[in-house]
């Protein structure tokens, strides 16, 4: 997992892994911010966690930093790279190192409102429904194949803060569910389209 902030999605995913709801294990947590909450949350759970200096750029990793992130993930033998509030754009060598294996969660129903502060964009446009999206990361900004979505109503009384909080609650359900499906091999991606195979329990229902 890669993150730059508080790490609330880390907690949700770790809970799912520990309970068996997701048959996965968090191998390592990396951050580009030395005092990021995601690192302290990981350490409190006994998960390997480290700060990796990002280099001089504000929105991307420099070449040395990118190599350090790749090396740390490879040493941890990860099968999936999960971005949880990681505030740098990943391109080039990083995506080639983990092809079709980098996922992100975005606080809108993509392709609507890509980019920063999507909940504010939703309020400004007056939509009545927004939500969150888990997607593969590609060379674009929030343009990769959509793996899962959940909707969130927008109320007339909403502020940016209340709407963002409600979207985050939806994220904490959606992200672990998508990772669980991925770990079970139930997600198949064909170009820009993803399909979910049912679980055996679903077939028996």
Name the residues annotated as catalytic. Answer: 106
Residue 139: name the closest of 104, 89, 183, 82 by CA: 89
Residue 38: name the closest of 49, 53, 46 by CA: 49
Within 8 A by CB and 6+ apart from 10, the residues are: 1, 3, 26, 29, 38, 41, 42, 84
Tokens encoding 111: 């392709």
What sign for the dihedral angle of Cα 10, 192, 124, 117?
positive
């Amino acid at each position: 997992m890669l993150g730059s902030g508080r790490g609330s999605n880390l907690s949700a995913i770790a809970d799912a892994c520990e309970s068996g709801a997701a048959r996965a294990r968090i191998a390592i947590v990396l951050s580009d911010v030395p005092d990021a909450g995601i690192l302290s949350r990981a350490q409190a759970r006994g998960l390997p966690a480290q700060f990796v200096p990002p280099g001089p750029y504000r929105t991307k990793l420099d070449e040395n930093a990118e190599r350090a992130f790749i090396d740390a993930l490879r040493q941890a033998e990860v099968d999936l790279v999960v971005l949880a509030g990681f505030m740098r754009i990943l391109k080039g060598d990083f995506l080639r190192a983990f092809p079709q294996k980098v996922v992100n969660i975005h606080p809108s129903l993509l392709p609507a409102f890509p980019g920063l502060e999507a909940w504010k964009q939703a309020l400004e446009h007056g939509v009545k429904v927004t939500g969150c999206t888990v997607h593969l990361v590609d060379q674009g900004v929030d343009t990769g194949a959509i793996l899962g979505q959940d909707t969130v109503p927008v109320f007339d009384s909403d502020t940016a803060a209340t709407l963002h909080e409600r979207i985050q609650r939806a994220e904490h359900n959606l992200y672990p569910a998508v990772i669980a499906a991925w770990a079970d091999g139930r997600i198949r991606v064909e170009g820009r389209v993803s399909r979910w195979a049912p679980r055996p329990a679903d077939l028996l229902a």
